Amino acid sequence: MATTDSDDIGEIETVARAAVLAGGAELRRRFRAGDEDGEYGSYDVKAAADEAAEARMLPVIRRAFPDHAVFAEEAGEFAGTGPYRWIIDPLDGTNDFATGLPTFAASVAVLREGTPALAVVHQPATDETYLARRGSGVRYQGRRVSADTDRDVETATVATIVGRDVPRDPDLAREADDIRGAVDDLVKRVISSWAPTVHSGLFARGRLQGVVQFHPDEEEQAVTELLAREAGAVVRRDGPRSVAASDEETLAALWDAVDPAR
């Protein structure tokens, strides 16, 4: 019997969940042991835990789908055939992990013909898991959740996310600072996220009221966008800027604040 897209994505979901749990187990073990091993630079840190978690995740996916294209943050690109491409982020929030903060995650996104179809995020320190599936919403700990909230703009908490290359470019860094400042003038509190998938998960269940991204990294972008859309949020994207909000009024206010043409 021929398989359908639904059959494919069901099997993919099972494997994606297994992969993030395998990576998460490695991260949890190292985090509890106080692992600080890594290369520390002026702008970022490359933890040994990144490679160790990916070494647990990548084989799970490659064994199940050897013909699928895969991008792994540490190992790079693996060519494949067919419509699916996997993106593995073994440790989102490396700085948090290295600092001893529990806000980090292992995540996987799966694109079908370039469009995010599935995302799974596992936070090993707190044993929390998010699953976003195109057309099926977002589940947190197995329960359907929504970005809906009754907070207005003035009482909102918003996360700002910038890509890893932004701080290295003085012009982009200044733009990012301007964006954060404009958002900070508008809302109650701004969180400068070091762990985009963690904060996007909070947004997807209504704990944050907005997410503003500037030149986001590919590893997180597919996850954050799918979580937002499947949680019923409103999203606007133009070039390197992307804003997700719980409602149209908040989106309009945030977009006006970060629009370079304002």
Instruction: Look at residue 142 and tell me if it is in a domain.
Output: no
Cα 82 to chain centroid, rounded? 24
CATH code of residue 226 = 3.40.190.80
Q: Judge if 128 and 157 occupy the same domain.
A: no
43: left (phi over 0), alpha (psi -120 to 50) or beta: alpha
Same domain flag for 58 and 160: no
User: Do 162 and 212 reside in the same domain of the chain?
Assistant: yes
Residues 130 and 13 in one domain: yes
Round to whole Å and give the CA distance between 165 and 219. 13
* Final residue before a domain boundary, out of 71, 102, 134: 134
Confirm whether 124 is domain-assigned.
yes
Question: Tens digits of per-residue pLDDT, 92-123?
Answer: 998 899 889 999 999 999 999 999 999 999 99
By the 10 Å C-beta count (0-12 exposed, 13-18 middle, 19+ buried), 23 is classed as: buried
Same domain, 44 and 107: yes
Domain end, chosen from 134, 165, 184, is at 134
Phi, psi of 164 (to 5 degrees): -65, -25
Domain assignment of residue 140, yes or no: no
Same domain (yes/no): 29, 83: yes
- Domain assignment present for 148: no
pLDDT-derived band at 251 (thresholds 50, 70, 90) equals very high
Q: Is residue 165 domain-shared with residue 126, that is, in the same domain?
A: no
| Domain of residue 61, CATH code | 3.30.540.10
Domain final residue, candidates 76, 103, 134: 134
Give the predicted TM-score (pTM) of the model.
Answer: 0.91
Phi, psi of 57 (to 5 degrees): -85, -45
Q: Do both 217 and 98 map to the same domain?
A: no
pLDDT in tens, 126-167: 999 999 999 999 999 999 999 999 899 999 999 999 998 898
Q: What is the DSSP string of the chain?
A: ----HHHHHHHHHHHHHHHHHHHHHHHHHHHHTT---EEE-SS-EEEHHHHHHHHHHHHHHHHH-TTSEEEETTTEEE---SSEEEEEEEEE-HHHHHHT-S--EEEEEEEETTEEEEEEEEETTTTEEEEEETTTEEEETTEEE-------GGG-EEEEEE-TTGGGSHHHHHHHHHHHHHHHHHSSEEEE-S-HHHHHHHHHTTSSSEEEEES--HHHHHHHHHHHHHTT-EEEEETTEEEEESSHHHHHHHHHHH-TT-
Same domain, 50 and 122: yes
Question: What pLDDT score does 3 carry?
Answer: 45
Q: What angle do CA 19, 24, 26 make, to 5 degrees?
A: 105
Task: Render pLDDT for 186-219 as a digit per residue (tens, 0 to 9).
Answer: 999 999 999 999 999 999 999 999 999 999 988 7
Assess whether 204 and 251 both reside in one domain.
yes
Is 139 within a domain? no
User: Is there a single domain that holds both residue 88 and residue 179?
Assistant: no
230 and 130 in a single domain? The answer is: no
Reading phi first (left if > 0) and then psi (alpha if -120 to 50, else beta), residue 32 is in alpha
Across-strand partners of 238?
241
* Alpha carbon distances (Å) from 200 to 11, 27, 82: 25, 20, 29
Residue ranges making up the domain that contains 97: 5-134
Alpha-carbon span 149 to 247, nearest angstrom = 8
- Into how many domains does the chain fold? 2
Q: Is residue 145 part of a domain?
A: no
pLDDT in tens, 50-94: 999 999 999 999 999 999 999 998 889 999 998 999 999 999 998
